[in-house]
């Protein structure tokens, strides 16, 4: 089993080296995709032992994830774990995802921030809850913490995906993957991890109103294409039986 960590990074020179060093003991390869940073993100990542891919211009998180995932697959990875570069994921939780992967090798695994949720700002909790509702409806099953970027993707799932569509290169792409996984019979599963919110860190690249609206718009179109998918709504609420 060859596991790669993929970390999309934009202007994360202050934290990327620490994230890379802490992730390396658990996996074969750490790949950092520098998404057009103008600081020393790439240099810090390389110094910490990561393989660095550079995007000449900032293209968004989805595009960075896609490039890192495809590179990992080309190098023989059997699964890809994604981490954010800002230090708000704990690399020491990687074994929790690997444990589920060993027992359910075809499932997408989400490290869901279910412990100490009060650590996150109220607006972020509200926005994440809205995203959970809409994405779960379109996926046709309940999914916790759909906006967590800490995930394990099995190679068999990644090989079925398509690149981010125009206009869906940011956080929308991660939500779209959850829907595609569920539609393909690989319902996402979760493992609980602690909520880490670093008040002294730089502002999150996730903009609650803008990004939640873009996710909602994508999901609305998915639902319209499926006649509003009433069975999906019932299943997401735990009322209807899961297929």
Q: pLDDT tens digits, residue range 30-69? A: 999 999 999 999 999 999 999 999 999 999 999 999 999 9
Identify whether the C-beta of residue 190 lies closer than 8 Å to the C-beta of residue 149. Answer: no
The residue written with tokens 């996710």 in the block is 215
CA distance 208 to 190: 22
Share of the chain above pLDDT 70, in %: 91
Average pLDDT value for residue range 125-154: 93
pTM: 0.92
Q: Is the pLDDT reported for residue 171 higher than 90?
A: no
Q: What is the mean pLDDT of the chain?
A: 90
Please determine, for residue 227, whether its predicted confidence score (pLDDT) is greater than 80: yes
pLDDT of residue 211: 77
Q: What is the pLDDT of residue 167?
A: 56
Rounded Cα–Cα distance for residues 124 and 76 (Å): 36
What pLDDT does residue 5 have? 98
pLDDT band, residue 187 (cuts 50/70/90): confident
Could you tell me the CA-to-CA distances from 52 to 67, 110, 239 in Å, in that order? 11, 24, 46
Alpha-carbon distance of 76 to 56, in angstroms, equals 25
Q: Distance (Å, rounded) from C-alpha 169 to C-alpha 59?
A: 7
Give the Cα separation of 236 and 116 in Å (integer).
Answer: 24
- Per-residue pLDDT tens over the stretch 102-127: 999 999 999 999 876 666 678 778 88
Fold assignment, 3-236: Spore Coat Polysaccharide Biosynthesis Protein SpsA; Chain A (3.90.550)
| pLDDT for position 73 | 98
User: What DSSP string describes the chain?
Assistant: --EEEEEEESS-TTTHHHHHHHHGGGSSEEEEEEES-SSSHHHHHHHTT-EEEEESS---HHHHHHHHHHHHHHTT-SEEEE--SSS-S-GGGHHHHHHHHHHSTTS-EEEEEEETGGGS-HHHHHHHHHHHHHHHHHHTS--S-TT---EEEEHHHHTT--PPPTT-SSHHHHHHHHHHHHHTT---EEEEEE----TTSPPPS--HHHHHHHHHHHHHHHHHHTTT-HHHHHHHTT-SPP-
pLDDT of residue 191: 97
In the chain, domain spans: 3-236
Work out the average pLDDT over 169-193: 89
């Amino acid at each position: 089993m060859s596991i790669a960590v993929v970390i999309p990074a934009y202007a994360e020179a202050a934290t990327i080296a620490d994230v890379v060093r802490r992730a390396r003991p658990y996996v074969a390869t750490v790949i950092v995709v520098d998404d057009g940073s103008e600081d020393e993100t790439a240099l810090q990542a390389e110094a910490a032992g990561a393989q660095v891919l550079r995007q000449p211009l900032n293209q968004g998180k989805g595009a960075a994830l896609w490039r890192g995932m495809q590179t990992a697959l080309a190098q023989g990875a059997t699964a890809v774990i994604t981490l954010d570069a800002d230090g708000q994921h704990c690399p020491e939780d990687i074994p929790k995802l690997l444990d589920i992967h060993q027992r359910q090798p075809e499932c997408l695994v989400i490290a869901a921030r279910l412990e100490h949720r009060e650590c996150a700002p109220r607006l972020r909790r509200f926005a994440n809850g809205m995203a959970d509702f809409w994405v779960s409806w379109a996926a046709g099953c309940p999914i916790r913490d759909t906006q967590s970027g800490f995930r394990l993707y099995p190679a068999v799932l990644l090989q079925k995906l398509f690149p981010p569509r125009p206009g869906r290169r940011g956080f929308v792409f991660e939500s779209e993957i959850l829907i595609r996984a569920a539609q393909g019979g690989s319902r996402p599963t979760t493992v609980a991890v602690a909520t880490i919110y670093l008040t002294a860190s730089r502002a999150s690249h996730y903009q609650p109103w803008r990004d939640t609206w873009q996710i909602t718009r994508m999901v609305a179109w998915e639902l319209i294409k499926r006649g509003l998918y009433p069975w999906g709504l019932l299943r997401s609420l735990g009322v209807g039986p899961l297929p």
